């Protein structure tokens, strides 16, 4: 009595010629006693023979050329990537360098010309005073117009822009020509 | 010096030249191994266009990783290993695969040598049948069969390509054959084939 699973594992080796002759003879004897195993063996044989008859397929003629083309594209892509990386790296290092350089130049200027510092401070104070005056004015307007302050300012801005546009148009557009037919 | 040793010497020379930037040497390597690589890709993927793309990708990967190649290993095994891994990845990504007779490249590659039309049709049908069987197998079982039948690799060489032990290769081959045999037996119990081995 044979074990069908064990017999089946020997089929594969038999097909590859890797089964010792004594075992091959035993497989042959067992096959005669089991129609189910015999059917499987025939199916495996059919598969084996069909595959052995199947040809090795020929590749497309231009495969090597296509591979070299892809390699060239890959190289170009790599070069672009390196270029972009260097560019970004350079830009990133340039920003801090410019800040440091500018700061050093300013410091040097201030050391050489101390009056410049006083001038810069006066400019800053003047700008702050202007801003303060603007805020005080706006506060006064707000007290007078209340919630209408913003629409009023928008309307004034609109009128101003419209006036400027009309003024620009009157200067740039050609004058109408009046044709007089006698 | 044997032919195999001479071939290996030429291969090593091509590899060295490629590593120094000579792309013509790599083109020679591609020419030498395009047939087995393309064949493996087609048998794995069952589609002409996809097989061509996979073969190109295999060589591209080979070129990129050539510095990692171990010269003690056979170059064919190494490049087939890349091809089989790439094809298995592609099959994993693929959701649905349709095999049509039009996809079978047999007419293009085999026909045209003046054989009768009837024989051509038979070959075409046989190729479609083979591909249909292979397509029903899980990719890890498909690869050893292809390497055994179309590339005449030994168990040891298949083990080297797939980075498996020899018993694991035998086991996969057995399971693949068993699975196909069950499909064949189920589909066509009446189909009888000759018994050349005498069992």
ipTM: 0.72
Task: State whether residue B29 is helix, strand or coil.
Answer: helix
Q: Considering only alpha carbons, which residue of chain A is nearest residue B183?
A: A43
Dist. CA A93–CA B35, nearest whole Å? 51
Q: How far is CA B37 from CA A61, A167, B174, in A?
A: 14, 78, 24
* Predicted pLDDT of residue B185: 78
Average pLDDT for A17-45: 85
Q: Is A34 on the interface with B (CB under 8 A)?
A: no
Portion of chain A with pLDDT greater than 70, in percent = 93
Place of tokens 């087939």: B80
Of B37, B31, B32, whose CA–CA distance to B57 is shortest?
A: B37
Nearest-neighbour CA in chain B from A82: distance (Å): 17
Quote the DSSP letter at residue B2. -
Least confident of A38-47, A166-175, B34-43: A166-175
Asked if A18 and A8 count as a contact pair (C-beta separation under 8 A), the reply is no
Least confident of B60-74, B108-122, B134-148, B163-177: B108-122
pLDDT value of position B29: 93
Token couple for B79? 């490049």
* Most confident stretch, A148-157, B120-129, B167-176: B167-176
pLDDT score, position B83: 96
Burial of B88 (0-12, 13-18, 19+ CB in 10 A): middle
Distance from CA of B77 to the nearest CA of A (A): 17
Nearest to B56 among A9, A44, A66 (CB): A66
- Spacing of C-alpha B26 from chain mean position: 21
Question: Using CA atoms, how far apart are residues B73 and B7, in angstroms rounded to an integer?
Answer: 13
Chain A within 8 Å of B37 (Cβ-Cβ)? Answer: yes
Per-residue confidence at A92, pLDDT binned at 50, 70, 90?
confident
pLDDT at B8 over 60: yes
Residues 6+ apart with CB under 8 A from B157: B74, B77, B147
Q: Where are the domains of chain B?
A: 1-97
The percentage of residues in chain A with a pLDDT greater than 90, rounded to a whole number, is 13
The verdict on pTM exceeding 0.95 is no
Which pLDDT band holds residue B51 (cuts at 50, 70, 90)? very high
Task: Give yes or no for B55 touching A (CB within 8 A).
Answer: yes
Distance between A43 CA and the closest CA of chain B, angstroms: 5
pLDDT at B61: 95
Of the pLDDT bands very low, low, confident and very high (cuts 50, 70, 90), residue B113 is low
The confidence band for A96, taking pLDDT boundaries of 50, 70 and 90, is confident
Q: What is the mean pLDDT of residues B126-144?
A: 87
Residue A16: both structure tokens together:
């590859």
Report chain A residues whose CB lies below 8 A from the CB of B149. Answer: 51-52, 54
Q: State whether CATH 1.10.1740.10 applies to domain B1-97.
A: yes
Q: Is the pLDDT of residue B179 over 80?
A: yes
pLDDT at B95 (0 to 100)? 54
Cβ distance B59 to A67 less than 8 Å, yes or no, reads yes
The CA angle A38-A46-B171, to the nearest 5 degrees, is: 75
């Amino acid at each position: 009595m044979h074990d069908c699973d064990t017999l089946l594992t020997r089929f594969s080796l038999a097909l590859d010629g890797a089964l010792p002759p004594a075992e091959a003879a035993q497989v042959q004897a067992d096959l005669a006693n089991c129609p189910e195993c015999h059917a499987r063996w025939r199916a495996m044989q059919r598969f084996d023979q069909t595959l052995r008859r199947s040809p090795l397929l020929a590749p497309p003629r231009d495969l090597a050329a296509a591979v070299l083309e892809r390699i060239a594209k890959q190289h170009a892509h790599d070069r672009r990537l390196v270029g972009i990386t260097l560019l970004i790296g350079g830009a990133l290092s340039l920003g801090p360098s410019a800040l440091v350089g500018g700061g050093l130049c300013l410091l040097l200027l201030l050391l050489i010309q101390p009056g410049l510092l006083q001038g810069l401070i006066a400019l800053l104070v003047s700008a702050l005073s202007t801003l303060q005056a603007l805020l005080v004015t706006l506060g006064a307007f707000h007290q007078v117009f209340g919630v209408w302050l913003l629409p009023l300012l928008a309307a004034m801005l609109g009128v101003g822009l419209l006036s400027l546009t009309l003024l620009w148009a009157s200067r740039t557009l050609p004058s109408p020509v009046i044709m007089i037919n006698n | 010096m044997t032919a195999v040793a001479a071939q290996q010497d030429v291969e090593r020379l091509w590899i060295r030249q490629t590593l120094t930037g000579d792309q013509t040497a790599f083109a020679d390597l591609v020419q030498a191994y395009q047939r087995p690589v393309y064949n493996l890709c087609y048998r794995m993927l069952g589609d002409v266009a996809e097989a061509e793309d996979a073969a190109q990708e295999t060589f591209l990967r080979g070129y990129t990783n050539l510095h990692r190649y171990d010269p003690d290993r056979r170059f064919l095994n190494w490049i087939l290993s890349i091809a089989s891994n790439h094809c298995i990845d592609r099959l994993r990504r693929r959701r649905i695969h349709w095999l049509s007779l039009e996809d079978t490249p047999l007419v293009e590659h085999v026909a045209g040598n003046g054989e009768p039309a009837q024989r051509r049709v038979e070959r075409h049908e046989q190729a479609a049948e083979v591909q249909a069987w292979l397509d029903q197998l899980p990719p890890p079982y498909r690869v050893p069969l292809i390497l055994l039948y179309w590339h005449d690799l030994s168990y040891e060489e298949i083990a080297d390509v797939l980075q498996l032990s020899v018993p694991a290769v035998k086991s996969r081959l057995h399971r693949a054959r068993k699975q196909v045999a069950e499909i064949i037996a189920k589909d066509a119990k009446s189909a009888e084939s000759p018994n050349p081995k005498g069992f």
